[in-house]
Amino acid sequence: MLPVAIVGGGPVGLSLALLLRQAGIGCEVFDARPAGAGFGDRRVLALSHGTRQIFQRLDTWTEIGAAPITTIHVSQHGHLGRTLIHAAETGVPALGYVAEAGRVARALAQTCAATGVKLRNGIRVTGSEAGSGRALLRFAAPPGDETVPAQLIAWAEGAVSAEHGGVRRDYAQQAIVAAVQTRTPPAGIAYERFTGSGPVALLPLAGRYALVWTVPDDAAADLSELDDRAFLARLSAVFGGRHDFISVDARAAFPLGLRYRETPVGERAVWLGNAAQTLHPVAGQGFNLALRDACELARQLRDEPADCGSPALLARHAAARHLDRRAAIGFTDGLVRLFGLRDPFSAHARGAGLLALDLMSAARRFLARRMIFGARGW
């Protein structure tokens, strides 16, 4: 019987597989896509310094080729107040990093292949059941259906659904993502600009910026359909002319919402990544939280390898991750709500808060370490 069956061969599932291998726990990864399907994914991931440490342990960091963020510039459009957070204040070489999701997936897949982690592509999971000391994973694999018994099923693909005890909140927003070129190349500075319509982020990546522009649902189509010149003019206005934008590549938009499971474990099952929680992209917390979840699971399994899916073990994992999960969910949701208030008093209060934060080095260090390391940064 397989100790752990991992459903999903994306970055979270492959990271868990490598962590389990290091812990001496047997596993196999089942992915519905063909091999290499995610290597061309141009979307970007914001990686914290804590995530870098994990990838270094997995011998994948160098191949990812991430661009460092040494300074984060936080401001709000149309109002006074801004905060600068520097890596030097927190004792780390960079506050975070930016990498293309496809490069992360490729580096992890190559390491899995080199270390003997079994990845089965083209496997469409059709269901599962649990009981009598094991779980059974069912999947379609020509020429016929198959089943795999496992002590534990780790679900690392899919989304949270309300029918399985999930909490859902629709922000009525969409994120427009693209790569933009500026006259002056990025110098390791990431910009988070809050507007009345939502946050706008510019993340340094290989001589250009990765753009994540949050807008209301009813404005997304019009903004996406603007020609490049008009789009960049609108973007320049958002940043008050701070940047001289000269080009933008293909744009894509996707809806934003908060979705999370109240508990990330069930009977001989655990959920990770988007299968456990999907957060707003503000502050770039989603993937880093998922990787911390995977690390804690691997640690729990290493300490009690006899039965990877025992109720006691899964209860300990859920308890260990409760504070960090709730803090990350509350932090991102709170930012969206706080900066979504449009009355003048709230805008002035936010500006005063940003100014105060800029004057209080201890508060900046606290905030930075919380984003870098999660709850253990406290």
**The pLDDT of residue 153:** 97
Domains of the chain: 2-72+100-165+258-338 (3.50.50.60)
pLDDT at residue 41, rounded to an integer: 87
pTM as predicted? 0.89
Residues of the chain with pLDDT under 70: 78-81, 142, 144, 162-165, 338-378
Whole-angstrom CA distances from 302 to 4, 22, 207, 263, 307 are 12, 9, 41, 21, 11
pLDDT tens column, 231-271 = 999 999 999 888 999 999 999 898 999 999 999 999 999 99
- The reported pLDDT for the residue numbered 113 is 96
Q: Are strands 265-266 and 269-271 parallel, antiparallel or unpaired?
A: antiparallel
- Number of other residues whose CB lies within 10 A of the CB of residue 141: 15
